[in-house]
Amino acid sequence: MRLKDIIRFLGEPVPRGEVGFLEKVRAFLIRDFKTWWTYKLWVMLDIIGSLTFVATYYFVAQIVTPDALISAGYTPDFLTFTVIGISFQQYVYSSVSSLSEAIRDEQWDGTIETILSSRTGFKVFLLGESVFRFLVGSYFLLASLAMGVVIGAKLTLTAGSVLSSAVMALLLIASHMVVGALGAAAILKLKEGNPIVWAFTWLTQLLSGILYPLGLLPNYLQWLGALFPLTYSLDGLRRCLMSGDDLTSALIMQDVSKLLIFIAVMLPISLWAFKKAYDSTRREGSLGQY
């Protein structure tokens, strides 16, 4: 072997150049899709689970009176009210919890340390881990809404209401990506048991008016419910999809403003919290611990 060959043989591979931001996010997306698609049985079971959950309320709707809905200013249709509530709550739940679960999985599998010690920054990592889960969540959301329509939910779909719903849905996604990042920060530090995800799944179920209008709650619980972005998102989405209101409605614009304020305040806080948790676990050397 000539000296030149030995040097070439033992030499480290030359970095292939800077991989772009979008290319990295795309790589995360493809990886997660491939993993998800490996478990086809689970894809099917998840769909069945979501649909049966929605269908249960077809029967509950048969014994409910619409008085509380009328008092709250909604169309007197409990089935449509709950189909929207459940579908979007499941969307939020899967999106918020799945980011923490993804990080937990990376911790268990010992891959988080590898990824984060590469040239992939934490912002790309967070976005990459979230994107596919939001896409899957959106797929389930549409399936749940379609199931609702099949069993009798009446959605008002005009150009204005659909466009306004899309805006509300985007704000819902943005506000819960912020919450997901906070949850991810908590899981990096705590490893097991995530108070952020817990609060945004269980407490929103109780306080955000998924199965009943908020007027039924006592004042102090209504006040607590006002802290969660799902409360405003659901109100706005229901006004669009049940009554056909659009962004020109003062009530919907109120919801939009509150969601924007939530995002503006919480986005820097959640990124700061994740960065702190990330730096702290790196310093402690506990990034890969579980």
Interface residues toward other proteins, by CB under 8 A:
39, 41-42, 45, 48-49, 52-53, 55-57, 59-60, 62-65, 67-69, 78, 108, 190, 192-193, 195, 198, 201-203, 205-206, 211-212, 216-217
In the complex with other proteins, which residue's Cβ is closer, 45 or 142? 45
In the complex with other proteins, which residue's Cβ is closer, 33 or 108? 108
In the complex with other proteins, which residue's Cβ is closer, 65 or 248? 65
In the complex with other proteins, which residue's Cβ is closer, 24 or 133? 133
Report the nearest approach of other proteins to the CB of residue 190 (Å).
8
Smallest CA-to-CA distance from 107 within 258, 247, 242, 281 is with 281
CA distances for 99 relative to 93, 133, 196, angstroms: 10, 8, 12
CA distance 261 to 205: 22
Half-sphere exposure (CA, 13 Å, Cβ side) for 148?
A: 28
Where is 188: in which H helix or E strand? helix 159-190
**Sign of the C-alpha dihedral computed for residues 92, 95, 99 and 105 taken in this order:** positive
Report the nearest approach of other proteins to the CB of residue 263 (Å).
26
How far the first Cα of the chain sits from its last, in Å, is 47
Report the nearest approach of other proteins to the CB of residue 140 (Å).
14
Report the nearest approach of other proteins to the CB of residue 56 (Å).
5
In the complex with other proteins, which residue's Cβ is closer, 75 or 201? 201
Smallest CA-to-CA distance from 23 within 173, 105, 95, 124 is with 124
What tokens were used for 68? 């509380």
What tokens were used for 46? 């998840």
What is the residue-wise DSSP string for 5-55? Answer: HHHHHHSPPPP--PPPHHHHHHHHHHHHHHHHHH-HHHHHHHHHHHHHHHH
201 phi and psi, to 5 degrees? Answer: -105, -55
Report the nearest approach of other proteins to the CB of residue 53 (Å).
7
Report the nearest approach of other proteins to the CB of residue 241 (Å).
20
In the complex with other proteins, which residue's Cβ is closer, 61 or 172? 61
In the complex with other proteins, which residue's Cβ is closer, 102 or 169? 102
Report the nearest approach of other proteins to the CB of residue 17 (Å).
36
CA distance 270 to 287: 19
